[in-house]
Amino acid sequence: MTIIDDPHLLTGAYAVHALDDEERAAVEEHLARCDSCAQEVREFTETAARLGQAAMVSPRRGMKDEVLRRITTVRQDVPHAGPGPGRESGRPRTRRLSHWALAACLAVAAGLGGTTVWQHQQAQDAREQERRTQREAQGVAAVLAAPDARTRTGKVSGGGSGTVVVSASRDRAAFLATGLPTPPQGKVYQLWFNDDGTMRPAGLLDPGGRTESVLMDGHVDRAIGMGLTVEPSGGSSRPTSPPVALLNFPPDGTPMIL
């Protein structure tokens, strides 16, 4: 007996759309006469639908053909069970589609869903990063454009230079770095506000090119200057190394110099 001779074997594949036209027609004709197979198809379809809810992108080209090819290499269960209620008279009741073959179909669906969830999360993270970058750029631009913006530039130990721009009216400061060397592996540049000798964390700097600008975290308040240190990745609550740059904020009234 071939599989198509016994549509009981095809309910699982039918539910996940893994049949050719001839097999699908045979199963649909059989379902009109077999209540138990119709119930099983509904259950398989509901399961496949739940797995498919996570799918947000189309599967890669050739996925269906690959699944169908692999299913043909899986050994089917030996038919068991005799006639009973809801079965066609005179036909042996089998276990329909091999559990292994059905599991393969559903595993592919689950795998696609898991991959899609990961891709969706990655896209969300990228969009959030883009929004943060835009807010950062807008904040830096607002400080630079402020009528009372004041600047001070100094050298950075180890190479490069840094410029701090302060706006009292906006109570914010921005830092622009040029030519900073890449920090050692596992380290990062960290900015600080100098609150009259007490260093307050003001964000991290990740130089990705010749020039890097960042809106310093927090308000200027009564800070008299800023510092830059090299800290463990993720930053520190207080400086753990000598500063590579210290800049005092220019007094009010100092003209902005670009």
Question: Hey, what amino acid is at 5?
Answer: D
What is the per-residue pLDDT for 227?
A: 95
- Sheet containing 245-248: give its strands across: 198-205, 187-195, 225-232, 245-248
What is the per-residue pLDDT for 64?
A: 63
What is the per-residue pLDDT for 109?
A: 57
What is the per-residue pLDDT for 198?
A: 93
pLDDT tens for the 258 residues of the chain, in order: 454 567 777 787 787 777 778 888 888 888 899 888 888 888 777 766 655 554 445 566 666 677 666 666 655 554 444 444 444 444 444 444 445 555 555 555 555 555 555 555 666 666 776 677 777 778 888 888 888 999 999 999 988 999 999 999 999 999 988 888 888 899 999 999 999 889 999 999 876 555 688 899 999 988 999 999 999 998 999 999 999 999 999 776 443 333
Question: Hey, what amino acid is at 132?
Answer: R
